[in-house]
Chain A
Amino acid sequence: MTTLLQVSGLTKRFGGLTAVREAGFTVAAGEVTGLLGPNGSGKTTMMNLISGNLKPDAGTVRLVGKDITGRRPHLIARGGIARTFQLVRVINDMTARENVVAGLAFRDRPLWGQAAANEADRLLERVGLGGRAEAQAAELTYVDQKRLELARALALSPRLLLLDEWLAGLNASELDGGIALIRSLSQEGVTVLMVEHVMSAIRQLCERCVVMNAGAIVAEGETTAVMSDPAVIAAYLGEEDD
């Protein structure tokens, strides 16, 4: 199993608060890895550090062995790490197609013009938004905006897809559809690192899990093993509410 992402000794401080403390873990190529932990444990900060939105104070992030620590986000995106956002972010005054073209036009091997439009439509179809290409992003429902965000991330042809609570706020049937979609992406070979609170989704999707608490990694391993780890139960599962 090749290691796609390797995080080691990663530390990020905001003033007096250490949001991420000497954190280290790996993501294997082709797997779905869950990043878990209670609210405020540093998961989103971790996503921001990996994607370049924040610069770490110490430690390294490696993508297929290459040091990408502290590189600017657009270079990391072109290097193969795509992300969605905890609070859904689409370009409201653009159409769904234009939103996806945004992911195609500036990647490592960019697409533009008719080729980009065709590929955007294919990706919209892929996430279940076929026929909605001309709709303004602002007019889409919440779940469709989440799908659109995913299509834009996939447009980068990422080696690693970071999903920050992509399943949050979906109703039961939307959740099933969302889980099936992530699973099918995984089967196509996309490597996923997902922050998630929905336990059923984690059990169904994640081969491995990394658990954070108060900025530190408290457990890492196979999902079933991690779930029964006393440290995890103490830190996290005790607070489960779904």
Chain B
Amino acid sequence: MTARPALVIAAGAAVFAALALVPFVADGYGMSLAIAIANYAILATAWALFSGPTRYISLATVAFFGVGAYTVAVLGEVLPWPIVVLAAAVNGTLLAFVVGLSTLRLAGIYFVIFSFGLTELIRQVVTWYEVKVTNTVGRYVFLDTDQSMIYWQLLGLAAILYLTGYLIGRSRLGFALRVIGGDETVARHVGIDTTRAKLMLFVLSALFMTLTGAIMAPRWTYIDPAIAFNPQISFQTVIMALLGGVQRLWGPLLGVIPLTLLFDWLNANFPNHYLLILGIVFMLIVYLLPQGVAGAIGKLSRSRTKPEPETDRKAHSAEARP
């Protein structure tokens, strides 16, 4: 069942090489869809890299995405592009360390709320800084680039992300994250430094989100905090990842492709009811496909009959904790 690593990596490389040819055949609309899919493929896969195994639902995606975009908006015209990207990476990593250290001790719903609130805080701080200190409400991003260049950069980033995710999935770190997701108390008592493992994956995941924001920034031409830190990006990332399934590396992609197309169509045809429909789609996915498309596929292919667990006896050994 498990394929040889060299084979998997070679197959992946072939797929990405083929995808690199898209700009030669696609028209303007096709390219804009391809960029949207690549954008969300990275965001959702990076999100699942951390949130999949640990089951910590983060709504902070756009905090990192926005920091990447804003770094480009501020530095894009004064520094060479590779340095700008590097600066974005540093900013995103630093922010992720601070956010991670302050939130990863929270569990469940507290983490969700905090990650969301924190994103709003960052947006307000950036807005305040721009208005009070730099006297701007928004910034123009004029960079010498085009759709194809943006697409190729996203594709390259996606290739690095998939390779990273694949290697982590086979590593002790990836395994540690699965144990943490399964039972964090057990994880600690088998010697896993849970804080460190979660922090490493959180920062790594945030790094990819930041770089995506940096690459996407020139596409907007004009950005302000409301655009760069739009919480809808965080929500859509979660919805797509959950629809596709977060237990497999390729899972989120199965949610990204159909939902990017669906959201594009909804946005064009029902711009006023878009958010309402988004919410309904989210509820339906969580209700009908709790394990995502990838999980449903896995369940079908593994149609073994399970013996009844003896839950009644487990209750017997319960003792009220002193």
Chain A positions within 8 Å of B, measured between CB atoms, are 17, 19, 39-45, 51-53, 72-74, 77-78, 82-83, 85-94, 98, 101-103, 105-108, 110, 112, 136, 138-139, 141-142, 152, 155-156, 165, 168-169, 215
Contact = CB atoms under 8 A, between A and B. Distances in A.
B172 A169 contact: no
A167 to B, nearest CB: 9
Interface in B279-322: 306-307, 309-310, 313-314, 316-322
Given A106-B172, A110-B172, 6 more contacts: A17-B322, A53-B189, A85-B185, A87-B317, A91-B179, A94-B178
B28 interface: no
Given A105-B172, A106-B176, A139 B309 contact: yes
A74 B319 contact: no
Interface residue tally on B, bucketed by range: 20 to 34
Contact of A138 (B172, B175, B309): B309
B193 interface: yes
Contacts of A52: 188
A77 B190 contact: yes
A235 B128 CA distance: 66
Interface of B: 172, 175-176, 178-179, 182-183, 185-194, 306-307, 309-310, 313-314, 316-322
Contact of B190 (A44, A87, A106): A106
B190 A152 contact: yes
Lowest 6 A-B CB distances belong to which pairs?
Answer: A91-B182, A168-B317, A106-B191, A73-B188, A77-B191, A169-B317
Contacts of A152: 186, 190
Nearest to B311: A142
Nearest to A168: B317
Contact of A44 (B306, B309, B322): B322
Contacts of A19: 322
B191 to A, nearest CB: 4
Nearest to A149: B186
Interface centre among B178, B192, B307, B317 (most CB of A within 10 A): B317
Contacts of B194: 74
Contact of A73 (B183, B189, B307, B317): B189
A157 to B, nearest CB: 11
A53 B320 CA distance: 17
A102 B319 contact: no
